[in-house]
């Protein structure tokens, strides 16, 4: 599926309540060694949440077999190795087929590129925050003049679902189901957040890369990151995995439906494509993304929680969505 149509795609992004601000980030390394997976034991757990957003319910008990999951998001250096070995071209780097676009689309949208979050002055409508920027892709994440040189330890972004799936196939793994991601993100805990207590920053200590301040005009960067962070800058969870909350949203293999099937309890894989639904009039099928991102703010959304979920157009990669893989 090609990338989404302009109007419906922007609406879908706005409904996501999470965004990717084009900012200069500081080179850095938080994990000395990239790669590796951690083991998540088989478990029964309560999946979903009935307290905040309706699409997160109903909360229900599910069983999952044990599985391996990447210790961190797939990084730029890992994705580079994949591209160098296969010659793969991501969706954002391909010239779109005119047949994939409705009539009347501006010429600029028929170029290779991706979408950046570029808010203007305060008071402007949210619909104006998003900009299609030709030349933006995983190698140029903040626009055509940007680069990932020196940022091999940062999560790869601007990857559409098929890009993430192609990488997973290359390494002989899969993208996690929504249930697998949620179990791993819960970190053997049954609390709002997967660390001690039910506060986002217990005792003032930030546990994930999120937005501090009033979104979108004020970011105090109290967590030490004024944008995307290298993988593993916050402590590992109980399974030894990093950044399952915050930093970037992550693709799962589930088709999206605004709610859980209470009877889908044994290694749930979610609805079929036929039974899935689309939000905001999206032109393309949608998958579930999990985990929230580095611009998730308390005043704008509360989706930096294991139970949180959103729909994302499969044909679009943005600067706030990455992924990791599992081995079943």
Is position 59 within any domain?
Answer: yes
What is the tens place of the pLDDT at every residue in 171-213? 999 999 999 999 999 999 887 788 876 777 777 787 788 766 7
Name the DSSP letter for residue 72: S
First-to-last alpha carbon distance for the chain, in angstroms, is 26
Res 72: pLDDT: 98
Is position 43 within any domain?
Answer: no
pLDDT band for position 108 (cuts 50, 70, 90): low
Instruction: Return d(Cα 54, Cα 62) in angstroms, integer.
Output: 19
Looking at the predicted structure, is the pLDDT value of residue 26 above 60?
A: no
Helix, strand, or coil (residue 100): helix
Site of tokens 């599910």: 62
Is position 46 within any domain?
Answer: no
- Number of structural domains (the chain) is 1
pTM given for the model? 0.87
Specify whether the backbone of 227 is left (phi greater than 0), alpha (psi in -120 to 50) or beta: left
Q: Are 12 and 280 in contact (CB under 8 A)?
A: yes
Res 127: pLDDT: 65
Is position 31 within any domain?
Answer: no
Give ∠ CA 118-307-188 in degrees, rounded to 5. Answer: 125
Query: Mean per-residue pLDDT for 272-285?
Result: 80
And the tokens for 245?
């909350």
What is the tens place of the pLDDT at every residue in 121-159? 666 666 677 788 999 999 999 999 999 999 999 999 999
Is position 32 within any domain?
Answer: no
And the tokens for 37?
């997976």
Res 191: pLDDT: 79
CATH code, domain carrying 176: 3.90.1580.10
Instruction: Return d(Cα 268, Cα 257) in angstroms, integer.
Output: 13
Res 98: pLDDT: 65
Q: Show the DSSP H helices in 88-240 as ranges.
A: 161-170, 178-186
What is the tens place of the pLDDT at every residue in 89-105? 999 999 877 666 656 55
Looking at the predicted structure, is the pLDDT value of residue 280 above 70?
A: no
- Other Cβ atoms less than 10 A from the Cβ of 180: the count is 25
Looking at the predicted structure, is the pLDDT value of residue 5 above 70?
A: no
What is the tens place of the pLDDT at every residue in 209-267? 876 677 767 776 667 677 889 999 989 999 999 999 999 999 999 999 999 999 999 99
Q: Are 12 and 279 in contact (CB under 8 A)?
A: yes
187's CB contacts (< 8 A; 6+ apart) are 194, 195, 237, 238, 239, 241, 244, 306
User: Which residue range(s) make up the domain with 17?
Assistant: 1-25+52-328
Average pLDDT, the chain: 84
Is position 40 within any domain?
Answer: no
Res 273: pLDDT: 93
Looking at the predicted structure, is the pLDDT value of residue 19 above 60?
A: no
What is the tens place of the pLDDT at every residue in 288-327? 999 998 876 666 778 889 999 999 999 988 889 999 999 9
Is position 44 within any domain?
Answer: no
């Amino acid at each position: 599926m090609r990338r989404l149509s302009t109007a419906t795609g922007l609406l879908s992004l706005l409904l996501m309540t999470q965004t990717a601000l084009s900012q200069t980030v500081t080179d850095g390394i938080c994990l000395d060694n990239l790669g590796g997976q951690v083991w998540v034991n088989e478990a029964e757990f309560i999946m979903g949440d009935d307290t905040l957003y309706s699409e997160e319910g109903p909360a229900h008990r599910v069983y999952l077999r044990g599985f391996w999951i990447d210790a961190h998001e797939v990084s730029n250096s890992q994705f580079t190795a994949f591209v160098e070995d296969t010659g793969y071209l991501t969706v954002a780097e391909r010239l779109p087929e005119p047949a994939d676009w409705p009539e009347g689309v501006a010429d600029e949208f028929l170029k290779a590129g991706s979408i950046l979050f570029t808010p203007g002055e305060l008071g402007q409508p949210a619909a104006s925050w998003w900009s299609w920027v030709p030349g933006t892709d995983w190698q140029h994440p903040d626009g055509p003049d940007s680069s990932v040189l020196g940022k091999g330890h940062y999560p790869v972004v601007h990857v559409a679902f098929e890009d993430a799936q192609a990488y997973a196939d290359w390494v002989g793994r899969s993208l996690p189901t929504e249930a697998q991601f949620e179990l791993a993100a819960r970190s053997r805990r049954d609390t709002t957040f997967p660390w001690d207590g039910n506060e986002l920053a217990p005792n003032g200590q930030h546990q994930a890369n999120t937005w501090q301040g009033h979104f979108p005009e004020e970011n105090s960067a109290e967590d030490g990151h004024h944008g995307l962070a290298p993988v593993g800058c916050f402590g590992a969870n109980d399974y030894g995995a990093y950044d399952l909350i915050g930093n970037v949203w992550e693709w799962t293999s589930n088709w999206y439906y605004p709610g859980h099937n209470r009877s889908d309890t044994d290694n749930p894989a979610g609805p079929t494509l036929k039974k899935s639904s689309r939000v905001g009039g999206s032109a393309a099928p949608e998958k579930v993304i999990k985990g929230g991102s580095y611009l998730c703010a308390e005043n704008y959304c509360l989706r930096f929680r294991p139970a949180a979920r959103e729909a994302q157009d499969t044909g679009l990669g943005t600067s706030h969505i990455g992924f990791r893989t599992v081995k079943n």
